[in-house]
């Protein structure tokens, strides 16, 4: 099957970029003829919000570039990952005009939320689902800027009016939780299919190490500050934070009186695997809903128990209590108790780690999830 994958990279590499790269790799291993069309937010420069304002609605010259790409690379299906702000949803219109069915992976909630997380001031917020996209401007929900948020609101409203999303044959949600939220926000449930994000198989898990590891962007929505609050009750338990982001300086300051806490900065794939091997379990204390949770999924693959919040997409990864522990989102005391239970009961932690690997093999292994995605491709191709 000939497939074109489209993606708008972020200025700072994150989970969506990693998922896109692994998607390409897994589809090629499955025998697909994969072509890629990639643009990068790093090209926006200092005046990014202003430049984005001239591209996000229609994409200056983007339709022509996409047309040239498709003329050079005939395909059976077009699969879009992130399109904001440079690629723009015009990619679906271009595919539709050429009779090519399109699939859209929804890595975030940006179709209905400016920051893509349904989160404002540290709390869940779905106001724009009801009040419409311009509601977000008064709060400056994207990057804390009313101007930047207006870029999103204008583009979102324009594409809704044009019916751009009617061009999409199938939406892919990385979790059942995300599928429910997006359906509640207006996407027709019959056009949403759950396909987990790709997670590489690291092989036979190593024997668990000690303590906990956090892997992710050091930003407010990921809950790293909450994790350090919880660690006040666990000063002797090793905790490693892998990643970087806007809250890095404040978090290092917060951790000064916690001698068992260390920061590694951003690590490559092998570095993350090494830190997972060193730890006994992974903690993902996210304050937002998430749509999947790559780091917790990678921990399952590595045979590590996970600690994740209830009422989020991350909870979908804990299969009826198999492979991890749930805690009440935003509750530092509950988080501390969950982590303490794994730190103290090392036998129980190893048992949960073994279950975690089983959950990965049953639900996230590359072969099964790629076959699910290919079945989506075949179905939309049959009705082109």
The label of the residue with tokens 């730190």 reads 343
What is the helix (H) or strand (E) element at residue 130, kind and residue range? helix 127-131
pLDDT of residue 364: 95
| Token code pair at residue 79 | 């699969």
Q: Would you give the DSSP letter of residue 190?
A: G
CA dihedral 172, 324, 24, 52 (to 10 degrees): 60
Fold match between 2-107+163-199+366-382 and 212-363?
yes
Domain regions of the chain by residue span = 2-107+163-199+366-382, 212-363
Q: What is the pLDDT along the chain (384 residues), one digit of tens a residue?
A: 999 999 999 877 878 998 999 999 999 999 999 999 999 987 766 555 555 555 555 566 899 999 999 999 999 999 999 998 889 999 999 999 999 999 999 999 999 999 999 999 988 999 999 999 999 999 999 888 998 899 889 989 988 998 889 999 999 999 999 999 999 999 999 999 999 999 999 999 999 999 999 999 999 999 999 999 999 999 999 999 999 999 999 999 999 999 999 999 999 999 999 999 999 999 999 999 999 999 999 999 999 999 999 999 999 999 788 999 999 999 999 999 999 999 999 999 999 999 999 999 999 999 999 999 999 999 999 976
Which tokens in the block code for residue 229?
Answer: 């609050």
Q: Is there a contact between 133 and 157 (Cβ–Cβ < 8 Å)?
A: yes
Q: Do the bridges between strand 123-124 and strand 119-120 make them parallel or antiparallel, or are there none, so unpaired? A: antiparallel
Quote the CATH superfamily of domain 2-107+163-199+366-382. Answer: Glycogen Phosphorylase B; (3.40.50.2000)
- Predicted local confidence at residue 246, as pLDDT: 93
Contact call for residues 57 and 85 (beta carbons, < 8 A): no
pLDDT for the residue numbered 366: 94
Taking the C-alpha atoms of residue 31 and residue 36, their distance in angstroms, rounded to an integer, is 15
Looking at domain 212-363, which CATH architecture does it have?
3-Layer(aba) Sandwich (3.40)
pLDDT (0 to 100) of residue 124: 92
Note the pLDDT of residue 383.
78
């Amino acid at each position: 099957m000939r497939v074109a994958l489209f993606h708008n990279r972020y200025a700072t590499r994150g989970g969506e970029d990693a998922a896109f790269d692994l998607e390409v790799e897994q589809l090629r291993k499955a025998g697909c003829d994969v072509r890629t069309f990639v643009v990068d937010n790093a090209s926006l420069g200092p005046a990014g919000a202003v430049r984005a304002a001239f591209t996000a609605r229609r994409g200056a010259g983007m339709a022509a570039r996409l047309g040239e790409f498709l003329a050079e690379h005939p395909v059976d299906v077009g699969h879009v990952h992130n399109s904001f702000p440079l690629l723009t949803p015009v990619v679906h219109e271009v595919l539709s005009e050429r009779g090519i069915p399109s699939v859209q992976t929804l890595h975030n909630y940006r179709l209905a939320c400016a920051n893509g997380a349904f989160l404002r001031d540290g709390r869940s917020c779905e106001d724009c689902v009801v009040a419409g996209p311009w509601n977000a401007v008064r709060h400056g929900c994207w990057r804390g800027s009313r101007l930047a948020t207006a870029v999103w609101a204008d583009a979102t409203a324009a594409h809704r009016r044009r019916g751009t999303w009617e061009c999409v044959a199938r939406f892919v949600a990385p979790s059942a939780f995300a599928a429910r939220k997006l359906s509640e926000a207006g996407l027709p449930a019959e056009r949403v299919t759950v396909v987990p994000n790709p997670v590489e198989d690291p092989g036979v898990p190593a024997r668990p190490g000690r303590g906990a590891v956090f892997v992710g962007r050091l930003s407010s929505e990921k809950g790293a500050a909450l994790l350090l609050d919880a660690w006040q009750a666990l000063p002797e338990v090793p905790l490693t934070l892998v990643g970087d982001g806007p809250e890095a300086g404040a978090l290092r300051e917060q951790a000064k009186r916690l001698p068992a806490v260390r920061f590694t900065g951003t690590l490559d794939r092998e570095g993350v695997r090494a830190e997972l091997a060193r730890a006994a379990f992974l903690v993902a204390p996210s304050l937002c809903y998430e749509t999947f949770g790559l780091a917790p999924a990678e921990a399952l693959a590595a045979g590590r128990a996970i600690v994740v919040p209830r009422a989020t997409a991350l909870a979908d990864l804990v299969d009826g209590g198999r492979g991890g522990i749930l805690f009440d989102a935003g509750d530092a005391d509950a988080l501390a108790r969950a982590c303490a239970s794994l730190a103290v009961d090392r036998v129980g932690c190893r048992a949960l780690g073994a279950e975690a690997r089983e959950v990965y093999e049953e639900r996230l292994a590359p072969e099964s999830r790629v076959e699910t995605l290919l079945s989506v491709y075949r179905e939309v191709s049959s009705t082109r």
